Chain A
Amino acid sequence: MTAKKKPWVKSAFSQLNMTPKASPVSAPYKRTRSGRATTSANVGTANVESTNVRKPQIVDLTVNEDDEEVNAATPIVSENWMDCFAPSTSEDLAVHPKKVGDVRNWLQHCEAMRKKYPAQICLLTGPAGCGKTATLRVLAQELGYELQEWINPTDCEEINALGDQPSDGTYMGSQLEAFKSFLLRASRYKSLLSAQNKRLLLVEDFPNVLLKDAAATFSDLLDEYISYGKSPLVFIAADSKSRMLNISYKLFTDQLKAKLRIEHISFNSIAATIMQKSMKRFTTLMQQQQHKSLYKLPTQTVLDSIVVCAQGDIRNALINLHFGSLKGAPSMVTKQLNVNAPSKGRKRKATNTLKSIGRDESITMMHALGRVFNPKYTEDRDKCLLHNPEDLAEAFSTEPRNFVNFIHANYLPHFQDIANVNSAVNDLGVADMLLQEYRDESLSLVSLTIAVRGCMVANVAPVSGWMPVRGPKRLTIEPQLTPAEQKLLGVAYAGISKRLYASEYSSFIKTIADNTK
């Protein structure tokens, strides 16, 4: 002990013991991640001590409901306001009861099959913030499971960065090994500290190695797990727009799911009504004794706008609610509550959204196409577009070509007059030409903007009504030659290009081949 207090060598690891006294010493050692964490934590505590009102500013946004058990132990993090609002029973969950029932059934099924097939696998998917993890946690607690979660180790990476390990192969191998041993140990042996007998393995943080074209390795891994595992295993994967990034699509192929009988439960984003209900629960929680000093009750419009703004993301809604109802910052609240012009009579309910804060609005392709084809204008005297074309273009800046193709495939039925079509398609042509110019990167966004804006502005009198969205056509030119036709051309036909064949030969050859039979 004394050696620790009076070290004769400054240990690089000393920063890991997060003692407040050591922090001034650790300042020069800011190199590692843990060192930074200590300093920031200390700044945080200082703030808490100095002003009581500003307490919530130290909110750590990266902490979510997942960290219940850990957080309960230390006093500082127990201030995490999010835990207070985390659902504790399955009734509190904002998820649709049917999905909760699905997960519960699966867990009960695992229970029933425990003797024979202990290693069941389940996959939960859904958009971010739709309560996948929360559902699992709550149900695990209710059914008496101990959750054991895999977290990607970061230390291997750091050693690598320092250059201690020359090859990157070792790093890849080691993480995979670590993951394998986690699967083996966590499923078989219970923690010394836990009282529960049943274990549930959770993988939300997919090992990076598996994400890099290693679907085969992954299926082998699961195959093995089925044979040796002793506990149910749950994977949670958030949906992603792009197919290539979508874990559930890439790693969990249909064959794999069928082969290993993986239960796939896909969550939807949370419906507005359920969201409103849980907002009510949050507000009642806010009025409890221990929170009263922190929060004031937000108005109904603020609540509504939070729900609209969150787009089915309960976690985001909670963060916004927290920000919107802090007592210490009255001026902020009014500012945030910048009510946008409501879109005309589409819904009965007010569609206010928070202006300055809120979830980054991501829109789907179909949604964006709708905005392009049915341009809405504000009702002010100076009519301007309700949805800014630049924003729409920005949202699809990663796939400009695709979006332009979609616009082209679908824009025609939305126009009434050929003059308007003319100007729209003119802009599409310009966009296509600019997209071809690969030497300047910014041009792709410019051309996309031209296409979007051109289409919106040109459509003076849009045709309203539902029109199915069609995908852009792909042209594959493959001239099909019958044997007779081929014989006519002889060996030389390989020297005739497809274009030349189509434009010069095809119709004559058809006639000649037909008539000489």
Chain B
Amino acid sequence: MALWVDKYRPRELSKLDYHKDQAENLRNLCKQSDFPHLMFYGPSGAGKKTRIMCLLREMYGPGVERLRNETMNFTTPSNRKIDIMTVGSNYHLEVNPSDAGMYDRTVVIDLIKQVAQTHQIDINGQREFKVIVISEGDELTKDAQHALRRTMEKYVATCRIILSVNSTSRIIPAIRSRCLGIRVPAPNETEMTAVLQNTCKREGLVLPPELAKRVIEKSDRNLRRALLMLEASKVQQYPFTANQQIAELDWQVYLRETASQIVSEQTPAKLEKIRDRLYELLSQGVPPNLIFRGLVEQLVNNCDMSIKAKTLEYATQYEHRMQNGAKHIFHLEAFVAQFMNIYKKFLAELVMTDDF
């Protein structure tokens, strides 16, 4: 049994549910003999990976769907062994270099060399190049991106790279200019409703429109999240009711509690507890920028209008530092301390004005 997200994922460009014009463009792209490096960008859960797979199928035929796992070994210059899991077919290879952390540079270079230096044996294969799909390209370190830039040019004859990124702002301009950028916006509510209803119909379920609306609201227009949410809700309770409880992401719940704790008490001891909670989230693997964003959203919702602007101003400052720094916890903690400080002052002033 597979997840709904995978089971009902469109496999062909013609069967995509939304952004149909774009699908048409992609098909035209495949018809031409050559094919540049591509960069799919857009928010998480918008369908970048789906489009990439459809594109590959359009190019290579159903062979790309015969997936297999492969663990690749790399040795860094400092003699550290790294194992990276990849998914691939005869025609493509999908890899997450960001899993290698700071060693992603080695992974990027070695992987591309390995793939690019072997030519396709099958002469009847439609294309003479292989494709490397790099997911979460924006998580690549600057170092790795610079390495990628050179290898991209060098092996262009035998290998094409498709990057899947959330935001182009973290990709160096040199790579941005070498790729054809394809924006995949998040689906709007009607498109999402259609997908959810369609999925339920194929599963033989009845989805009340109110519930669909609530799921879409909760999922931040992230289709993958919406589908997973719906499936999790289904196993919890079926038949659906309009106001049933929707399964939520546990880290979001955890973050919400953390935010309310911050508002409840502003002392160094509390900050220490908050830090432990943040560590907990980070060690679960939740990306720090999501934590930061979630925290800011929750705090801004919880605080008075007069300090909202200030909170946001500081949030931008610390978020910027977090992107440049190495220890995310420092900056998360700094932001929490800053908010506590503002909030405490605000409360003190409130008491003062009440007295008079």
Residue positions of A touching B, CB distance < 8 A: 405, 408, 412-413, 415-419, 421-422, 425-426, 428-430, 432-433, 435-436, 473, 475-477, 479, 487-492, 494-509, 511-512, 515-516
Total A-B contacts with CB atoms under 8 angstroms apart: 172
Cα distance A491–B1 when bound, in Å? Answer: 12
Minimum CB–CB distance from B251 to chain A (whole Å) comes to 7
Minimum CB–CB distance from A204 to chain B (whole Å) comes to 32
Are B247 and A418 in contact (CB-based, < 8 A)?
A: no
Q: Does B318 contact A (CB under 8 A)?
A: yes
Q: Contacting B275 at CB < 8 Å: which of A405, A412, A488?
A: A412
Are B334 and A429 in contact (CB-based, < 8 A)?
A: yes
Overall SS of chain A's interface: helix
Are B96 and A436 in contact (CB-based, < 8 A)?
A: no
Cα distance A30–B128 when bound, in Å? Answer: 69
Interface centre among B3, B235, B285, by most chain A C-beta atoms within 10 angstroms, is B285
Minimum CB–CB distance from A475 to chain B (whole Å) comes to 5
Give the residues in chain A near B87, CB-CB below 8 Å.
491-492, 494-495
Q: Which residue of the partner chain B has the closest CB to A491?
A: B67
Q: A419-B341, A507-B247 are in contact. Are A488 and B1 (CB under 8 A)?
A: yes
**Shortest Cβ-Cβ A-B pairs, 10 listed:** A502-B285, A515-B235, A494-B85, A497-B96, A508-B228, A507-B250, A477-B285, A495-B87, A432-B325, A422-B341
Are B337 and A418 in contact (CB-based, < 8 A)?
A: yes
Q: Contacting B283 at CB < 8 Å: which of A475, A489, A503?
A: A475
Are A499 and B287 in contact (CB-based, < 8 A)?
A: yes
Q: Does B17 contact A (CB under 8 A)?
A: no
Give the residues in chain A near B232, CB-CB below 8 Å.
507-508, 511-512
Q: Does B189 contact A (CB under 8 A)?
A: no
Q: A425-B337, A475-B282 are in contact. Are A508 and B247 (CB under 8 A)?
A: yes
Are A495 and B135 in contact (CB-based, < 8 A)?
A: yes
Q: Contacting A494 at CB < 8 Å: which of B86, B324, B338?
A: B86
Q: Contacting B229 at CB < 8 Å: which of A426, A428, A429, A508?
A: A508
**Interface residues as binary, B198-236 with A (CB distance below 8 Å gives 1, 0 otherwise):** 000000000000000000000000101100110110011
Are B334 and A498 in contact (CB-based, < 8 A)?
A: no
Minimum CB–CB distance from B68 to chain A (whole Å) comes to 7
Are B272 and A508 in contact (CB-based, < 8 A)?
A: no
Residue positions of B touching A, CB distance < 8 A: 1-3, 6, 44-45, 49, 67-69, 85-87, 94, 96, 98-99, 135-136, 139, 222, 224-225, 228-229, 231-232, 235-236, 247-251, 266-269, 271-272, 275, 279, 282-287, 290, 318, 321, 324-327, 329-331, 333-334, 337-338, 340-341, 344-345
Minimum CB–CB distance from A227 to chain B (whole Å) comes to 35
Are A436 and B135 in contact (CB-based, < 8 A)?
A: no
Give the residues in chain A near B268, CB-CB below 8 Å.
412-413, 415-418, 421
Q: Which residue of the partner chain A has the closest CB to B248?
A: A507
Are B250 and A499 in contact (CB-based, < 8 A)?
A: no
Are A503 and B235 in contact (CB-based, < 8 A)?
A: no
Are A490 and B282 in contact (CB-based, < 8 A)?
A: no
Q: Contacting A425 at CB < 8 Å: which of B225, B235, B287, B330?
A: B330
Give the residues in chain A near B325, CB-CB below 8 Å.
429, 432-433, 435-436
Give the residues in chain B near A487, CB-CB below 8 Å.
1
* With A433-B324, A512-B232 already in contact, 5 other A-B pairs whose C-beta atoms are closer than 8 Å: A421-B271, A429-B318, A432-B321, A497-B99, A500-B44
Q: A408-B327, A494-B85, A508-B229 are in contact. Are A430 and B224 (CB under 8 A)?
A: no
Are A432 and B45 in contact (CB-based, < 8 A)?
A: no
Give the residues in chain A near B284, CB-CB below 8 Å.
477, 502, 506
Minimum CB–CB distance from B317 to chain A (whole Å) comes to 9
Cα distance A432–B322 when bound, in Å? Answer: 9
Are A515 and B228 in contact (CB-based, < 8 A)?
A: no
Q: Which residue of the partner chain B has the closest CB to A495?
A: B87
Give the residues in chain B near A479, CB-CB below 8 Å.
285
Are B235 and A504 in contact (CB-based, < 8 A)?
A: no
Q: Contacting A516 at CB < 8 Å: which of B1, B94, B96, B324?
A: B1
Give the residues in chain B near A475, CB-CB below 8 Å.
279, 282-283
Q: Contacting B236 at CB < 8 Å: which of A476, A489, A490, A515?
A: A515
Interface centre among A413, A475, A490, A504, by most chain B C-beta atoms within 10 angstroms, is A504
Cα distance A516–B285 when bound, in Å? Answer: 25
Minimum CB–CB distance from A41 to chain B (whole Å) comes to 47
Cα distance A475–B236 when bound, in Å? Answer: 33
Cα distance A500–B164 when bound, in Å? Answer: 13
Are B136 and A491 in contact (CB-based, < 8 A)?
A: no
Are B248 and A490 in contact (CB-based, < 8 A)?
A: no
Are B236 and A502 in contact (CB-based, < 8 A)?
A: no
Are B247 and A432 in contact (CB-based, < 8 A)?
A: no
A-B contact pairs, 8 of them (CB 8 A): A408-B333, A413-B272, A419-B341, A497-B96, A499-B136, A503-B251, A503-B287, A503-B290
